[in-house]
Amino acid sequence: MTDLLHIAGQKFHSRLMVGTGKYASNELMKESLAASGTEIVTVAVRRVNLEQPEESLLHYIDIHRYTLLPNTAGCHTAEEAVRTARLARAAGLSNWIKLEVIPNDGTLLPDPIATVEAAHQLVSEGFIVLPYTTDDHIVARRLIEIGCAAVMPLGSAIGTGQGLPNPERILRIIEEANGRVPVIVDAGIGSPSDASLALELGADAVLVNTAIAKAQNPVQMAAAMAKGVEAGRQAYLAGRIPKSPVASPSSPEEQKIGN
Amino acid sequence: MQIRVNGKDMSIEDNWTLLDFLNSLRLQEERIAVERNQEIVPRENWSMIHLSNGDELEIVRFVGGG
């Protein structure tokens, strides 16, 4: 049976979502996306530079191959995020929005109250809302109740590469979601083993940007991330052994020589 | 006529539509979105909106992000 990721009625084979920021060049980004096997890519919304026209990012992203997930990065309030989401939709490529409301305090940690507020508004306007959120399961519960298409708890702070220091918090959110919507671990993933852990826990997908874009070889790292995600998913489906405080030998205790 | 675009003051021809202005910027092929005085202007209305003195426009596009 094919194991597919379902988001808002759409089906995806890949459980690795990839961000398009921070690459040394657009060419490198394009190659990295291809190597990752991703089917969903995030983009940001910014003012057009009127003084110095720049090449369009979309020349490097095949919109027939990838589902675009615009974000509201840089928005400090619910109002700014709603405004940015409306602009993103008006560009005419996607009514999906990765909702981020992050106060301007240097932590890059989400404002959960403003996120719920903005999500509520955007769901009512017909957006497919995928909110970036804290690892608090009550916030996740509220986001699911108001109709978000997924929840995206952070593993650790954006760009830190610290992985999942609190896996039990992610697990609690997975239990809370209980298959109603996908749980996508967003932010903090630094290596394929971090991505694998997220999937092993039962997360439905991960979103990775910095760990690929800032690797010494982004294309190679993108391929490695894909394998980490695949390994984690297979392990989750296979069912890992419980951890035990007591050792148990793998070889027979009987018929040993010299007795 | 003076308008404000992406936070900067600009002088444009009188009686221009939004589409005329965007064409002057050679942005017509870009996947952009436009707000006029904080209201989204759908693409199909660009040719019908006549710009007024003091209008404030935001013109955005997609860039790399996570």
Note the pLDDT of residue A52: 80
Contacts of B25 in chain A (CB under 8 A): 48, 50
Pair of tokens at residue A256: 């040993």
Note the pLDDT of residue A258: 86
Pair of tokens at residue B13: 């021809």
Q: How far is A44 from chain B (nearest CA, A)?
A: 5
CA distances for A230 relative to A37, A72, A102, A205, B47, angstroms: 11, 28, 31, 10, 49
Residue ranges and CATH numbers for the domains of chain B are 2-61 (3.10.20.30)
Contacts of A26 in chain B (CB under 8 A): 64
Q: How far is B26 from chain A (nearest CA, A)?
A: 9
Note the pLDDT of residue B30: 73
Residue ranges and CATH numbers for the domains of chain A are 9-238 (3.20.20.70)
Note the pLDDT of residue A54: 81
Q: Can you tell me the distance from the alpha carbon of A192 to that of A232, in angstroms, rounded to the nearest whole number?
A: 9
Q: Can you tell me the distance from the alpha carbon of A236 to that of B34, in angstroms, rounded to the nearest whole number?
A: 45
> By the 8 A CB rule, do A51 and A255 touch?
no
> By the 8 A CB rule, do B4 and B10 touch?
yes
Note the pLDDT of residue B29: 58
Note the pLDDT of residue A132: 97
| Phi, psi for residue A8 in degrees, rounded to 5 | 50, 45
Note the pLDDT of residue A223: 98
Specify whether A98 is catalytic: yes
Residue A209 marked in a binding site = yes
The per-residue DSSP string of A174-225 comes to HHHHTTSS-BEEES---SHHHHHHHHHHT-SEEEESHHHHTSSSHHHHHHHH
Instruction: Report how many helices (DSSP H) and strands (DSSP E) chain B contains, helices first.
Output: 1, 5
Going by their DSSP bridges, the two strands A10-12 and A5-7 should be labelled as: antiparallel
Residue A210 marked in a binding site = yes
Name the 3-class secondary structure at B62.
strand
Total beta-carbon pairs less than 8 A apart between chain A and chain B: 105
Q: Which of B10, B60, B65 sits opposite A87 (nearest CB)?
A: B60
Contacts of B39 in chain A (CB under 8 A): none
Note the pLDDT of residue B26: 82
Q: How far is B1 from chain A (nearest CA, A)?
A: 18
Note the pLDDT of residue A11: 97
Length of chain B in terms of residues written? 66
Residue A187 marked in a binding site = yes
Contact B66 A19 (CB under 8 A): yes
- Interface ipTM: 0.93
Contacts of B6 in chain A (CB under 8 A): 47-48, 50
Beta bridge pairs of residue A207? A17, A186
Q: How far is B62 from chain A (nearest CA, A)?
A: 5
**pLDDT mean by block of 10 residues, chain A; 259 residues:** 93 98 96 98 94 86 95 97 97 94 91 98 98 97 98 93 95 97 96 98 97 98 98 97 93 88
Contact B59 A47 (CB under 8 A): yes
Residue A159 marked in a binding site = yes
Contacts 24+ apart (CB under 8 A), A176-179: A176/A137, A176/A140, A176/A141, A176/A144, A177/A140, A177/A144, A177/A151
Pair of tokens at residue A150: 């997924």
Q: Which 8-state DSSP code applies to residue A81?
A: H
Going by their DSSP bridges, the two strands B8-11 and B2-5 should be labelled as: antiparallel
Pair of tokens at residue B64: 């790399």
Convert the pLDDT of each residue in B8-50 to its tens digit. 999 998 999 999 999 998 875 578 999 999 999 999 999 999 9
Q: Can you tell me the distance from the alpha carbon of A213 to that of A219, in angstroms, rounded to the nearest whole number?
A: 8
Contact B64 A158 (CB under 8 A): no
Contact B61 A53 (CB under 8 A): no
Listed residue (B6, B63, B61) closest to A44, CA to CA: B63
**CB-count exposure of residue B20 (10 Å: 0-12, 13-18, 19+):** middle
Residue A178 marked in a binding site = no
Going by their DSSP bridges, the two strands B56-64 and A16-19 should be labelled as: unpaired
B44 touches chain A (CB under 8 A): no
A46 touches chain B (CB under 8 A): yes
Residue carrying structure tokens 């459980």:
A15
> By the 8 A CB rule, do A95 and A70 touch?
no
Structure-derived torsion over alpha carbons of residues A161, A227, A171, A205, reported in degrees to the nearest 10: 90
Residue A44: in which H helix or E strand, if any?
strand A40-47
> By the 8 A CB rule, do A203 and A237 touch?
no
Contact B33 A87 (CB under 8 A): yes
Contact A90 B65 (CB under 8 A): no
